[in-house]
Amino acid sequence: MNANSITNPKLIFEPENVDQLLQGWLLHVHKGRDRHDLAARRCDRIRWWLGGSAAVLSAIVGTTIFAAVEKHLDNSSLTLKVLIISVGILAAILTGLSTFLNLAERTEKHRSAGVQYKKMVWELERILSQSAAQMTRDDPALTKIQQQLDDLEERAPVVPEKLYAQVEDDWKNRGVKFVPKASDLYRSEGSVLDRS
């Protein structure tokens, strides 16, 4: 156990009723959607940058080699030859990196997870708009939602820690308060252990 976990313990959401449980799930689902949307956009941006750079560099190398062959590469300067080779190697590295990272597939997996989280938002909002007060924790609708959330968490790709923290900070800064217990999740000082 490190010092940070003692000074900043993880707080646990302890709903007192079904409405608070649903509100907590709704908060979790909104954050999940935000995380995967952000991750998908980031992967797509990197994919475009790597792919675009590789394409431009490959075009430069191809054009330069074609021009040099027409002028007899043997008469070209050593600097030009080294530059052509270096740009060609860089283009190959970027292409290989783009393939290795498989950013198109990662983008799609995060986008798909974001869509699934959005569907869960709609379902939770629908239930909350009805009479959740009459529901019990054993209600089949709650059990179904819990199973769907479990399945979604299991299938969803891992969000980079930096993006995860960014979404947490964004939600803290919004000042959104769902229920008293859920708002305790955002306290920066104090501890669950301090409460009696």
pLDDT at 51: 85
Of all residues in the chain, the percent with pLDDT exceeding 90 is 29
Dihedral over Cα of 92, 48, 162, 157: its sign: negative
pLDDT at 182: 46
Q: Which helix (H) or strand (E) holds 101?
A: helix 78-101
More confident residue, 115 or 87: 115
Question: Are residues 9 and 192 in contact, defined by beta-carbon separation less than 8 angstroms?
Answer: yes
Say how far apart CA 85 and CA 105 lie, in whole Å: 31
If you average pLDDT over every residue of the chain, what do you get? 79
Say how far apart CA 155 and CA 158 lie, in whole Å: 9
Three-state SS at 172: helix
Crossing angle (nearest 10°) for helices 18-70 and 78-101: 150
pLDDT at 23: 86
